[in-house]
Structure formats: structure tokens, C-alpha cells
A and B are shown apart, each in its own frame.
Chain A
Amino acid sequence: MNKNTPFKDKDVLIKDIEAFLQKHSTLFRVQGTRISHFFEMNCYNYVVKYYQNHGFDVLPVNLDGKVFKYKISAAGDPKNFSHFLVSKTIGAQKYEFEIHHNLALECAHESEIFYTADISVIKKTSIERTQPSTYSMKRSFCRAKDLQTFFEVKHLAPFPELLFSFSGIPDSFLVISGRIKNPKHLAPSLLMSGRPNFHAEKIKKYLQKRHSINIIFNLFGTPSAVYSNKYSKRTIGTTF
């Protein structure tokens, strides 16, 4: 029996990988352009999984025939896109929330100023469509009182400016006081595909200690970090 390592045949490995890449080159070239959208879509799916793992019934609604339509930009009326309805009964009370993609949220402290979160969880049927006086057209949005939590998705490597700027957003858009303890939602979270360096890890620890937020890195490596209980995360209660 010869002692060997798989890499006595390094050239064979490289040749095999090269053949694999060549064989699937069209797939990589075509679908590769959508990786950023896929990442957003995957993160949305992870948020739905979080609710499913925490005892909620989850249901895709507003389908276009047999198609689930993701809203991948801030433009467009949410009623023309699909979303998830998640519901849970605690005691005699049934709680129902909607999970939306790219929905405008109104500031908690100043009317008619908005921010579009990549993913937001809101009270069922709380989207309003009006024409704010400062806008030339109608827009759909959710008021802060109905917003449960939100997520920012970045297909990027973490850098300090981004981490610090995210930490300020919840203060302007989320109502914290008066929330009931259950059901629980993930606290506002920044979901990133990139790997952190030592500095980014240190900033994350500091910001999570200082604010009620989650910063989750390297999601391609550990997608379950969003929805699995194995990874500890901050949560917030429900506005009611």
C-alpha cells in the first residue's frame, strides 16, 4: 500500500477543475450576472426561514399565476409583487406579518421622509399608498408604528463606513417603546456576503454591544447564521 496524498497528482486536479469550468462556462457567464440579485433573494428566503423555524406558518401570497415576483428595486408598487405572510397564534391572539422586499419605510420622527429597506417585516395590510405633499407622484410605504424589523443586504466585503452608517438607521425608522415581548423578531440586521477582517469583526462586536442590531458576515459561508438558533442574535418584540 503506497502512502500518497491526493495532490501527488496536482496537475490532474487542475485539469479536472479546468474541464469543469469550461463545461459550465455558459452557466457561469449568464447566471453570474445575477449573483447580486440571487444574494438578495437568498437573504429574503433566510428571513422567511427564520419565521418558519420559530413556529410561524408561512405562505407566499400575491403570486402572478405560478410565478413568485421579487421586487428587486425601490421602484414599483408593492401590490404588483409577491410577498410572504407569516402568522402565529399565541394564546387567543393571532399575529400576522408580511415580509416585503424593497419597501419604503417612513421615518419614525418626521413624516414624509422615507428609506427603502431591502427586506422589511410589517404588520399585515399596513402598506399605505398616498401622494405625500413633497412628491409629484403616489408612493407606497409603511409607517414606523407598523414596522416590526428590517434588513439591509449587501453583497460586499465589510468596511467601516458601511457598518457605522447601518447602525444609525434603526434609530430613525423603528419604534422601540411599547413593544410587546412576543412574538419576537430579529433585531434590524445587516446581512453581508463578504468576509470580515479583524477590524470589521471588532467594529461589529462594538456596534452590536452599543445598539440593538445584528451584523452578519460571510453569508455565503454560513447562510444559516440568519435563521438558525445555533448562532446567537439580538431580537426585538412586536409593535401592537
Chain B
Amino acid sequence: MIDLFTRHLPSQVSIDIRRQYESLLPIFNSYIDSENERYFELKNDRDLDHFILALALFYSSVIIPLREAGNCLKDLRSHHQKIQSIRLSKFEFSSDSANVIHEMSVEMSALLSQYRISEHLLLFSDIKNFARNLNQYLKSPDYE
């Protein structure tokens, strides 16, 4: 599942996300396999559970830092309207780069909202809470 998210990433970021995924997976699986009713819904589709975990790691490790970088330029400009870009060594982070990131981030938010996946679910600090929140989410009905 994680391959889908890491194949377009530079190697270091890809390695980092894979490590996170591989270290969390055994603990996450133990919640899926447990008889505790708090994790009951997770038993229905293990692949889906793993997919959402991989999505969460990609979201917090790639989407959020990029989005925050865009916000950083916005914040700087709010302090000083003259500022048009940020220089990080030889790289210049301009309004154009920030706009491209913003468009990507808006599209991601729309996608998540289409599937009612909340940021709260994805930005977990503890895998146990993630398992509980995912269970809760999968339990919540959607009416068509």
C-alpha cells in the first residue's frame, strides 16, 4: 500500500515514510486483530485500513510541510508586503511555487472532503488513537 504514495518522492523522504509505515504496521495490525469492540470495524477490510494509514503518513510527511511552507511565505508577506520570495541556499521559494503548492493542497482537501476523511483522522500522534478514530469513521453511516 505504501508504494503508491512513495513512488513519486525523493529517496530520503520515501525511506522516511516507509520506515514510519513499517514500524507502525505491526502495532496497527495488533489492534485490527484484537477482540476489542473499539476496533471491530477495522476487521472488514484490512487493505483499506492499511491504505488509510499510508495516506495519513503521506499527508503528514509531505502535504503538511509543503502547505506550511506556502503559509510561511504568506506570513512573511503579512509582516512586510515588499517580500516576494524566500531564499533557502540557492533555491528561491517564490509566490509561483507557493501557488502551485496551494492548488495541490486545495485539491487534496477537496478529495478528502469528498470521502469525508478528516484532517483530525490523518494527523494522529498515536497509532492507538488512529486505530480508534478510523474505527469510528468506518462506523459512521453515509446516506446516498
Interface residues of A (CB under 8 A from B): 1-7, 10, 13-14, 16-18, 20-25, 27-29, 31-39, 41-42, 45, 48-49, 58-60, 63-64, 66-70, 72-73, 84, 157, 193, 195-196, 217-218, 220-223
* B126 A195 Cβ-Cβ under 8 A: yes
Separation in Å of the A47 CB from the closest CB of chain B?
12
CB neighbors of A among B68-123 (8 A): 68-69, 71-72, 75-76, 79-80, 82-89, 91-92, 97, 100-101, 104, 107-108, 111, 114-117, 123
How distant is the Cα of A31 from the Cα of B105 in the complex, in angstroms?
A: 13
A7-B48, A31-B66 given as contacts; is B84 within 8 A of A67 (CB)? yes
Q: Which 4 A-B pairs have the closest CB atoms?
A: A25-B8, A221-B123, A38-B69, A66-B84
* A2 B83 Cβ-Cβ under 8 A: no
A27-B101, A27-B104, A67-B86 given as contacts; is B65 within 8 A of A42 (CB)? yes
Please count the residue pairs between chain A and chain B whose beta carbons lie under 8 angstroms apart in the complex.
Answer: 168
Residues of B with C-beta under 8 A to A22: 8
* B68 A42 Cβ-Cβ under 8 A: yes
Beyond A20-B111, A41-B69, A41-B72, 5 extra complex contacts between A and B, CB < 8 Å: A5-B138, A27-B101, A35-B65, A37-B89, A60-B80
Residues of A with C-beta under 8 A to B85: 66-68
Residues of B with C-beta under 8 A to A38: 65-66, 68-69, 72
Residues of A with C-beta under 8 A to B111: 16-17, 20
* B10 A32 Cβ-Cβ under 8 A: yes
Tell yes or no: B37 within 8 A of A by CB: no
How distant is the Cα of A29 from the Cα of B62 in the complex, in angstroms?
A: 11
Residues of A with C-beta under 8 A to B143: 1-4
* A17 B55 Cβ-Cβ under 8 A: yes
